[in-house]
Amino acid sequence: MWLPIFGLILGVILGLLTDIRIPEEYSNYLSIAVLAALDTLLGGMRAYLQNLYDEKVFVSGFFFNIILAASLAFLGVHLGVDLYLAAVFAFGVRLFQNIAVIRRILLAKWTKSPEKNL
Amino acid sequence: MKKDIKWGFTGISIIVGLMLAIQFQTVKQPKIADTRDGWELRTQILAEQQLQSKLLTEIRELEAQASSYETQRSQSKETALKQTLGELKRESGQTKVTGDGIIITIKPLAEAELLGETIHSISPELLKRLINELNMYHAEHISINGQRVVNTTVIREINGEPKIDGLPLSNYPITVRVLSSDVQNLRDRIKVSKVIEQFFIDNLSVEVSDPVKKLTVPPYQNAIKSKYLEPAGKE
């Protein structure tokens, strides 16, 4: 359980240390991609806790969601419609749902056996 | 199995972390610029002003340099060449020339007209002779009826009509403008020259004006053909 969190921290440190910066005009795409990635990550966690986890689904979903979100934002920019808002909305809703499910599962597990951690 | 899950998850986590960090850095960047207080801004302005004055000094220096180059260039061979070219053009009749000169007007003799004699158009030989005479007395630039006379100018009869470089000379009066550095001398000599008498035989009178200041002779209008001229090979 701790390894993914450690990986997240490692990624953040790596990103901060390497001082990578993307051009201002692409920051929209990256933000939407980050949202998609977070959503996928939480979805994966939820699936894992529900014992529905599938490695292939998770990894493919991760990249597919990111690409879809970024291309949606790209299309929105070129159509003059803020299409990325659709992605933000969809991912935001799913994010909250996933978090709610995770919270419930964790809560249920904790009330069942308080001393036993995952 | 569980290990695999963790590795996949970890890899994705690292990527997400990296993306987060990059996004954070990208978004965070402009905010730093906005947190400067008045004093910092003042310092910044001072630095920019110093840079500006430095750049201005640089511009001034470069301009001075450019002008010095310009001066050097004007004294260089190229300018000499250009000057020579200009002089040659002037000499060959490709430029408009203004200077002291006389105007020679050729028109039919009034007496002959009264007597009803037919006035023939001017004969090219006569005109050529006049030009030769003028050249003999150091005429520098000549134009006939606004057509500049250059070294290759042709005066001849085409179908009974006298023409100078293709321009007909059938109508009188014919005006010849002559520029010279010694106008008075030229005028005196042409007045007593025999060519005037030749004109008289053809029932034509020649009037030589007093020296005129600022007389303008037009440039040669056609292209000067140098069919047989070639640049000399290197020796």
The domain boundary, picked from B72, B107, B125, lies at B72
A9 inside domain: no
Report how far residue B40's alpha carbon sits from residue B74's, in angstroms, rounded to the nearest whole number: 50
B87 inside domain: no
pLDDT digits (tens, 9 = 90+) for B16-55: 888 888 888 777 765 555 677 888 889 989 999 999 999 9
B55 inside domain: yes
Q: Residues B179, B101: contact at Cβ < 8 Å?
A: yes
B224 inside domain: no
For residues B141 and B206, membership in a common domain is answered with yes
Q: Which of B31, B34, B16 has the alpha carbon at shortest distance from A31?
A: B16
B227 inside domain: no
Enumerate the residues of chain B whose CB falls inside 8 A of the CB of residue A91: none
Percent above pLDDT 90 for chain B = 10
Q: What is the pLDDT of residue B1?
A: 44
DSSP B165-232: TTEE--SSPEEEEEE-SSHHHHHHHHHTSHHHHHHHHTTEEEEEPPPEEEEEEPPP-SPPP-TT--PP
For residues B114 and B165, membership in a common domain is answered with yes
How many other CB atoms sit within 10 Å of the CB of residue B50? 10
Look at A73 and B234; give whichever has higher pLDDT: A73
Asked if A55 is an interface residue toward chain B (Cβ–Cβ < 8 A), one would say: yes
> For residue B22, what are the domain limits?
2-72
> For residue A52, what are the domain limits?
25-112
Sequence-distant (≥ 6) Cβ neighbours of residue B187 within 8 angstroms: B102, B208, B210, B211
Number of domains in chain A: 1
Q: What is the pLDDT of residue B57?
A: 95
Number of domains in chain B: 2
Cross-chain residue pair B12–A30, CB shorter than 8 Å: no
For residues B57 and B119, membership in a common domain is answered with no
Alpha helices in chain A (DSSP H): 2-18, 27-49, 55-79, 84-112
Asked if A62 is an interface residue toward chain B (Cβ–Cβ < 8 A), one would say: yes
Q: Which of B7, B10, B27, B31 to mutate to test the interface with A (most CBs of A within 10 A)?
A: B10
For residues B125 and B181, membership in a common domain is answered with yes
> Which of B56-65, B105-114, B208-217 has the largest mean confidence?
B56-65
B235 has a pLDDT exceeding 80:
no
B2 has a pLDDT exceeding 90:
no
Q: What is the pLDDT of residue B62?
A: 94
B105 inside domain: yes
Enumerate the residues of chain A whose CB falls inside 8 A of the CB of residue B24: 15-16
A59 inside domain: yes
**A75 strand-pairing partners:** none
A105 has a pLDDT exceeding 80:
yes
Which CATH number belongs to the domain containing residue B114 in this structure? Answer: 3.30.70.1880
3-state DSSP call for residue B104? strand
Cross-chain residue pair B8–A59, CB shorter than 8 Å: yes
Cross-chain residue pair A20–B22, CB shorter than 8 Å: yes
Interface ipTM above 0.85: no
B81 inside domain: no
Cross-chain residue pair B8–A48, CB shorter than 8 Å: no
A31 vs chain B: nearest CA distance in angstroms?
Answer: 6
A8 inside domain: no
Report how far residue B61's alpha carbon sits from residue B78's, in angstroms, rounded to the nearest whole number: 25
